[in-house]
Structure 1
Amino acid sequence: MKLLIASDLHGSARFCSELVCRIDAEEPDRILLLGDLLYHGPRNALPEGYDPMAVAEMLNALKERIIAVRGNCDAEVDQMVLEFPCGGDYIELIDRGRTLFATHGHLFDADELPYLAPGSAFISGHTHVKLLEEQSGILLVNPGSISIPKDGSASYAVYKDGAFALKGLDGTTLAERALPPAR
């Protein structure tokens, strides 16, 4: 299974368009979106190219491949324009017997993890800061933000064959790490 993982688009058609180009280049089986898709939120400035309806149209064109969770800036009205479900707070995917727990990051985070067996991955967005590190046998993965990165560069992640890669929006690999061994 190959996943492309992105978070915090915040309604930027410009950056969503670049993400769609990366999706075309990466050819993932599924696209995992970690919330904050259409609205910029009251604490964020409008991102470049802010056009939530254009973002909805781009994402809807990929609806058969999208798995999504709700972010803290996502609202019930967003679901009215999105043609794929994004109302859940988290989703658990199982690959090769290992759990990939995906959430936005405002309810669960690296300091408040749900129970996960060693060898699992905790995947979240919300902070707009890339992260790929192991903590107590759990791999913490944050793809950063597509449109409002707080660490200097827009990014996404790819999961394939038990390993994650953080990538810049130009496709450059920034970091790689395999899931820790299951105990």
Structure 2
Amino acid sequence: MKILFFSDVHGSPDSVEQLVRRIDAHAPDHLVLLGDVLYHGPRNPLRPDYAPPRVVEQLNRFKRRITAVRGNCDSEVDQMLLEFPILSEYATLLEGGRRFFLTHGHHWNPGNPPPLERGSVLACGHTHIPELKTLENGLISFNPGSTSLPKGGFDPSYGFYADGKLQVLSLESGEEIFSMQL
């Protein structure tokens, strides 16, 4: 199975347009959205392209292929517009005998991990900083970064999993930032 991961869209239709090009190129079976879909949040700048209704239209096209979790900026009002569930605090995905724990990262994160077996993937956004590393407890910490408001000097980014390889990729160039064979 091929899975494309993305997070922290924050109402940016330009970022989603770039993401759709990556979706077309990778042809993933499944999309995982790790929260913060429409609202920019009080700590983030308002992007010039901020247009949540356009983001809703763009993402609803993929409603049958998206598993999404709630971010700290997502609300029940957002769910009224989106045609796929976004209000769960976490979800799990089993692929290739490995558990992916999907969460936004404001509750469960590398500093406060859920109780998982060694080798499980803790997939979260929230920090807007891409990451892919093995933690001391044996969990794999995976953050695809942000498609719209990257931090830490990184470009906008997303994640991709196929054939046991997990990657963080630049949204603009498609170039690999991090990768790990699971």
- How high is the TM-score relative to the length of structure 2? 0.96
- 2:126 paired residue number: 126
CA deviations on 1:31-52 (whole Å, 9 max, x unpaired) are 0000000000011111231100
Q: Is residue 36–residue 74 contact of structure 1 (8 Å, CA) maintained in 2? A: yes
- 1:167 paired residue number: 169
- 1:177 paired residue number: 180
CA deviations on 1:109-160 (whole Å, 9 max, x unpaired) are 1010001101110000000001000012211000000000002310000012
Instruction: Please give the root-mean-square deviation of Cα atoms over the aligned residues, in Å.
Output: 0.9
Aligned equivalent of 2:156, options 154, 157, 165: 154
Q: Is residue 33–residue 66 contact of structure 1 (8 Å, CA) maintained in 2? A: yes
Q: Extract unaligned runs of 5+ from structure 2.
A: none
**C-alpha separation between the residues in 1 aligned to 2:106 and 2:8?**
12
Runs of 4+ in 1 over 3 A off after TM superposition: none
1:163: Cα distance to partner?
2.2
Q: Is residue 133–residue 141 contact of structure 2 (8 Å, CA) maintained in 1? A: yes
- How high is the TM-score relative to the length of structure 1? 0.95
1:175: Cα distance to partner?
1.4
CA deviations on 1:87-111 (whole Å, 9 max, x unpaired) are 1000011112211001000011101
Identity of aligned residues (%): 49
Letter in 2 for 1:123: A
- 1:137 paired residue number: 138
SS at match of 1:159: strand
Letter in 2 for 1:160: A
Letter in 1 for 2:50: Y
Q: Extract unaligned runs of 5+ from structure 1.
A: none
- 1:85 paired residue number: 85
| Aligned positions, number | 179
**C-alpha separation between the residues in 2 aligned to 1:162 and 1:92?**
17
**C-alpha separation between the residues in 1 aligned to 2:31 and 2:152?**
23
1:26: Cα distance to partner?
1.0
Q: Is residue 131–residue 178 contact of structure 2 (8 Å, CA) maintained in 1? A: no
SS at match of 1:115: coil
Q: Is residue 162–residue 178 contact of structure 1 (8 Å, CA) maintained in 2? A: yes
SS at match of 1:22: helix
- 1:105 paired residue number: 105
